[in-house]
A and B are shown apart, each in its own frame.
Chain A
């Protein structure tokens, strides 16, 4: 049967692609657990490298999680109102702002980081604080939040919904919290997922912005790969993996859109 062949061909191709993506992950995890990677698995399995990473780099992991959550909080607080205003007022100014917002994504991270250092690097206490990195991350991730919320807001008839609520007596804030926010839930969750992942993995900008006391996870990882044994770098990846997976899975579960059921017109 021709169909059967086609099926196996597709299955084979899919498995091949999966293998291509998954094998390095498995190898890397194994490398982090082997006593000596050059000798191979027969040298035995150990948690030594993982413990070493945990003891040496724990702070970078917590700093990264902290920064990404703070970054999420800020982009929510700034991004949602910004998207709301952009959706409601379609003027030349708001369109210009929308374009400007993408700049930090288009411009290389290194350039943004340099600009930040030149502008604010002299402020005592700020340069050495984790807040300095946070500012860079917010600049970089804000457009992702604004865009995904804006996309949802533009797809619903926001003005009529708000007018409907107003006609029932709802004030501006009641309309915002009861009608606007719940209806852009999917956009907010998709945006949050982006912001957290991007902030967690950001390297370009962070590498310039960091100080020895404010090392984030990716910067620490680069350190480990560059200056220590391969096993430690790999163990680091493993720890990173274990930390971030539950977070991403939880966000993903929230962001799942409802599927509307079709209902036939009912005539009596």
Chain B
């Protein structure tokens, strides 16, 4: 790869956004994005992901008092065309009046790059995205996946200082989404470019992000590595938005957590709690000779091949979800004894 531009470090200081109609899309936000990392903004619809991305891109300005810094330099009032950031839109935003090659070369043409160099770079991009055959097609002659590749190629062709992607895969079907997710992942790693990726799909976020920023109602709920976010969620919102969470409510007394399903050994370091949370992989069906203080009845069992997904009723509003690898069948209404890995217990 012939990327020579140094990756960019981005900082947001006190960036809030209130739209003209009074919508408060973003509460004051501070954030540092390290040079070369891939950071994913994840959150439910309307939580302000796109707004944050657009502030970084220069398509929106933060409310007064907010600052955007590129490598320490204040760019808050620099318009997008002077920021040199590549952007990939959910709707692709490819120019229908140009061919694939012209689309990819457009940014270079604007920069008055010599014709021969444009041709070479466009060819390089086409090869990188494996769309050489499409060079002379018009945009309305491309499929969704092909359009997405052209959009990526167009954004990268100018060697931007950072790449911003707003839900680039949402418009594609599930299978294509998986293929392109892998492609984008290896692309971002080989380019070593600072990338900011917006999505509401947690699997996409986990797969792509060096770090994930979970957002909720215009606020940052948690920032961290995918594993931290999953295993040590900071708030109930994060715990429940990402992956599946089981929940038991009860009280702590005499060194045990007592709930409707029975008792659970309690580490006093957790302090007091009226509710414990844990992931499906931290609970299993107890062996026959194993001591266990918890039990429930099987409400539903789905054999998935490599494992069985069980829904076990323990007298709570929601049944527990258990992924069992036991080589046996489970029948509806069967009583099962449960064992929880104490390392997986969360108190929030």
A interface residues with partner B (beta carbon < 8 Å): 156-157, 160-161, 163-171, 174, 178-179, 182-183, 185, 258, 260-261, 263-268
Complex interface: chain B residues within 8 A of A266 (CB): 143, 145-146
Complex interface: chain B residues within 8 A of A166 (CB): 59, 79-81
Q: Identify which of B97, B158, B173 contacts A182 (C-beta below 8 A).
A: B97
* Given A167-B80, A263-B143, A268-B179, A174:B110 Cβ within 8 A: yes
**What range describes how many residues of B lie at the interface?**
35 or more
B interface residues with partner A (beta carbon < 8 Å): 57, 59, 79-82, 84-87, 89, 91, 93-97, 106-107, 110-111, 130, 138, 140-146, 154-155, 158, 173, 175-176, 179
Complex interface: chain A residues within 8 A of B107 (CB): 168-169
Q: Is the CB of B176 within 8 A of A169?
A: no
Give CA–CA (A156, B95) in the complex, Å: 10
Ordered by A's residue number, 16 sampled pairs between the chains whose C-beta atoms are within 8 Å are A160-B91, A163-B59, A163-B89, A164-B95, A167-B80, A169-B111, A170-B110, A171-B81, A258-B138, A260-B138, A263-B143, A264-B143, A265-B143, A265-B176, A266-B146, A267-B145
**Nearest Cβ distance between residue B298 and chain A, in whole angstroms?**
39
Q: Is the CB of A169 within 8 A of B110?
A: yes
Q: Is the CB of A169 within 8 A of B84?
A: yes
* Given A164-B89, A178-B106, A265:B81 Cβ within 8 A: no
Q: Is the CB of A165 within 8 A of B106?
A: yes
* Given A163-B59, A168-B106, A179-B95, A263:B142 Cβ within 8 A: yes
* Complex: chain B residue closest to A266, CB-CB: B143
Complex interface: chain B residues within 8 A of A164 (CB): 87, 89, 93-95
* Given A170-B81, A268-B179, A165:B95 Cβ within 8 A: yes
Give CA–CA (A260, B137) in the complex, Å: 11
* Given A168-B110, A169-B111, A170-B81, A267:B176 Cβ within 8 A: yes
Q: Is the CB of B140 within 8 A of A260?
A: yes
Q: Is the CB of B86 within 8 A of A167?
A: yes
**Nearest Cβ distance between residue B132 and chain A, in whole angstroms?**
13
Q: Identify which of A165, A169, A263, A267 contacts B141 (C-beta below 8 A).
A: A263
* Complex: chain A residue closest to B111, CB-CB: A169
Q: Which of B59, B94, B96, B179 has the most CB of A within 10 A?
A: B96
Q: A260-B138, A267-B175, A268-B130 are in contact. List 17 more A-B contacts (CB 8 A).
A: A156-B96, A161-B93, A164-B87, A164-B89, A164-B95, A166-B59, A166-B79, A166-B80, A167-B86, A167-B155, A168-B81, A168-B107, A169-B81, A170-B81, A258-B138, A263-B142, A265-B143
Q: Is the CB of A267 within 8 A of B179?
A: yes
* Complex: chain A residue closest to B142, CB-CB: A263
Q: Is the CB of A167 within 8 A of B110?
A: no
Complex interface: chain A residues within 8 A of B141 (CB): 260-261, 263
* Given A165-B95, A183-B95, A266-B146, A160:B106 Cβ within 8 A: no
Give CA–CA (A161, B95) in the complex, Å: 7
Q: Is the CB of B91 within 8 A of A157?
A: yes
Complex interface: chain A residues within 8 A of B158 (CB): 168-169
Complex interface: chain B residues within 8 A of A163 (CB): 59, 80, 87, 89, 93
Complex interface: chain B residues within 8 A of A174 (CB): 110
Complex interface: chain A residues within 8 A of B176 (CB): 265, 267
**Nearest Cβ distance between residue A237 and chain B, in whole angstroms?**
40
Q: Identify which of A168, A170, A261, A265 contacts B144 (C-beta below 8 A).
A: A265
Complex interface: chain B residues within 8 A of A261 (CB): 140-141
**Nearest Cβ distance between residue B228 and chain A, in whole angstroms?**
32
Complex interface: chain B residues within 8 A of A170 (CB): 81, 106, 110
Complex interface: chain B residues within 8 A of A169 (CB): 81-82, 84, 107, 110-111, 158
Give CA–CA (A60, B335) in the complex, Å: 101
4 tightest CB-CB pairs across the interface, nearest first? A164-B93, A168-B107, A182-B97, A167-B87
**Nearest Cβ distance between residue A264 and chain B, in whole angstroms?**
7
Complex interface: chain A residues within 8 A of B146 (CB): 263, 266
Give CA–CA (A166, B158) in the complex, Å: 13
Give CA–CA (A11, B28) in the complex, Å: 72
Give CA–CA (A159, B94) in the complex, Å: 12
Complex interface: chain A residues within 8 A of B173 (CB): 265
Give CA–CA (A163, B96) in the complex, Å: 14
**Nearest Cβ distance between residue B164 and chain A, in whole angstroms?**
8
**Nearest Cβ distance between residue A165 and chain B, in whole angstroms?**
7
Complex interface: chain A residues within 8 A of B96 (CB): 156, 183
